[in-house]
Amino acid sequence: MSRKQFAVISVIIILLAAGAAYWLWRTEQRPIGNATPVSVRLPIPIIEAGSAPFFVAQDRGYYAEEGLDVKFEMGSRELNPVKTVAAGTDTFGVLGGPDTLLVARSKGQPLKAIMVVHRNSNFPVLISLASSNVSEVEDLQGQRVGFFYGHISTDVLRNLFRKKNVQVTEVDVGFDYSQLLSGELKACWGFRTTAGLDLPAKGVEITMINPADAAGIISHGYTVFATEKTIAGDPELVERFVRATLRGIRYTVDHPEEANKSLLKRDPNLDEALSLKRLKMYNAVTSASEAYPPGYMDKDMFQSTYVRLREEGVIEKEFDVTAAFNDSRAHRLARWAFEGHPWHVIVSNGAFAALMHRILLEHSDGRAIPPYGGSTTTVEFQGVTVELPTRLLSLIARDDHDFDLLVEGIIEGPHHEVAANVIILTLLEALFDVAAGGVSDSHPVDGPEEGNDAATC
């Protein structure tokens, strides 16, 4: 190791120690017995597997470790998350997808997403009895079809019928499938994770038409949001809630059987086997890969949803879709830093700094020891061949190789811990030089590939 390398690493260690000390001081200043109350409105009025990550984060003490006293409230038509969060009744809300959030913003509601749990989930489907011989959308021409007005499935299905030029008679049935079972309806809306499992479990043979397969209509799942006032006025609260929830997501994906116990604890009447099957179906489309870490969201996810809603005429006033989600460069890097590492108990910036410190220490002498199970990219650094996480280099490289913008994103983001910022900026500067300095031909640096590494529907 050269003197220059040794000096750089020494400075990093000193800065890291300062940042860690600062974080510990901040932790000690937060009264354990005086946790910040937080209210979260869930999307539906029942205990169901989609909410498992939040219950897990509560049961395993992740929220408590962040100094949060989280209370969950059930959603309903009258007490829907958009209404209660906008009114200030709840701090955060969870929607079945970003669709409802975008419609609300078009009506002037200052709401913004802070994470999306399920990417390319494609939950809304058309359900028919197997005996009805409905195998494609065209079989429903002129038929009565059950809808749930106000639910995200409505605009997905309307978009499907419009693209297929199929005219149907809509019947608002909510969660009631009795008209489908009696034959009064030829088909009915449903989530493949709910009715798609519940009806077969009761012995009802069904067929499902997925809009993603039938017409390429992609939809996303659980979307967590807050008001712009909360995000701008108390960014630390948002970061604490996000960090704890991301840990709950990761644990739920890695330990579904244990996560299922959090559901059974809240509703002992749940069918344990069916609940676990449902939970695993949710996990299959939960962002939890290297390319798409927990909570992942990007402009394309919101833009495609926005375009579909605009086609159906439900966007009352057009707006820039990037205003609908909080995903600054600093936010993305903080989320990436959390993914799969034991640094999650540190503030986001501190976590990132600690991880980068470990990378530099382990790779400065050329040892090819990846810091975690993800893929690495071989690069030349001060004459030494080292390996760094491809995901990190992709994040840096895809921002137009503009370090100034990267720094600006961090400074303007919800990261006000000065000591931690000094560390992250120092490390990013070094790593940015590495990314710009060249990558081996066998490992090109680019953004994440299309598709969801966690699963496909």
Summarize pLDDT for 61-89 with one digit per residue, the tens.
999 999 999 999 999 878 899 999 999 99
Decide: 252 and 52 in contact? Cβ < 8 Å: yes
> In what order do the strands lie in the sheet containing 187-191?
169-172, 144-147, 187-191, 124-129, 206-209
Longest dimension (CA), the chain: 80
Tell me whether residue 192 is in a domain.
yes
Radius of gyration of the chain (CA): 24
Distance between CA atoms of residues 426 and 359, nearest Å: 14
Tell me whether residue 339 is in a domain.
no
Verify that 297 and 322 share a domain, yes or no.
yes
Verify that 131 and 211 share a domain, yes or no.
yes
Verify that 228 and 207 share a domain, yes or no.
no
Verify that 263 and 298 share a domain, yes or no.
yes
Tell me whether residue 455 is in a domain.
no
Verify that 56 and 101 share a domain, yes or no.
yes
Verify that 241 and 281 share a domain, yes or no.
yes
Contacts of 329 (CB under 8 A, 6+ apart): 395, 399, 405, 406, 409, 410, 413
Q: What is the CATH number of the domain that holds 161?
A: 3.40.190.10
Verify that 140 and 210 share a domain, yes or no.
yes
**H helices within 150-227, ranges in order?**
153-163, 178-182, 195-201, 211-215
Which backbone phi and psi does 104 adopt, to 5 degrees? -65, -40
Give the total number of structural domains in the chain. 3
Token reading at 149: 């007005």
Which backbone phi and psi does 124 adopt, to 5 degrees? -65, 130
Residue where a domain terminates, one of 294, 327, 360: 327
Verify that 305 and 276 share a domain, yes or no.
yes
Token reading at 253: 């994906």
457 residues of the chain, pLDDT tens digit each: 444 444 444 444 444 444 444 444 444 444 446 899 999 999 999 999 999 999 999 999 999 999 999 999 999 878 899 999 999 999 999 999 999 999 999 999 999 999 999 999 999 999 999 999 999 999 999 999 999 998 889 999 999 999 999 999 999 999 899 999 999 999 999 999 999 999 999 999 999 999 999 999 999 999 999 999 999 999 889 989 998 999 999 999 999 999 999 999 999 999 999 999 999 999 999 998 878 888 999 899 999 999 999 999 999 999 999 999 986 444 444 444 444 333 333 333 444 444 444 444 444 443 333 333 455 666 554 454 545 555 545 544 443 333 344 334 433 443 333 334 444 444 544 444 444 443 333 333 333 333 333 222 2
Verify that 259 and 274 share a domain, yes or no.
yes
Residue where a domain terminates, one of 153, 186, 215: 215
Tell me whether residue 448 is in a domain.
no
Distance between CA atoms of residues 240 and 223, nearest Å: 17
Tell me whether residue 333 is in a domain.
no
pLDDT of residue 150: 84
Tell me whether residue 453 is in a domain.
no
Verify that 176 and 313 share a domain, yes or no.
no
Q: Is 38 helix (H, G, I), strand (E, B) or coil?
A: strand
Token reading at 293: 């870490």
Decide: 298 and 398 in contact? Cβ < 8 Å: no
Tell me whether residue 59 is in a domain.
yes
What is the residue whose two structure tokens read 């400065």?
A: 364
Q: Is 172 helix (H, G, I), strand (E, B) or coil?
A: strand
Verify that 228 and 308 share a domain, yes or no.
yes
Decide: 168 and 126 in contact? Cβ < 8 Å: no
Q: Domain range holding 253?
A: 35-120+221-327
Token reading at 5: 């390398």
Tell me whether residue 369 is in a domain.
yes
Verify that 372 and 404 share a domain, yes or no.
yes
Q: Is 163 helix (H, G, I), strand (E, B) or coil?
A: helix
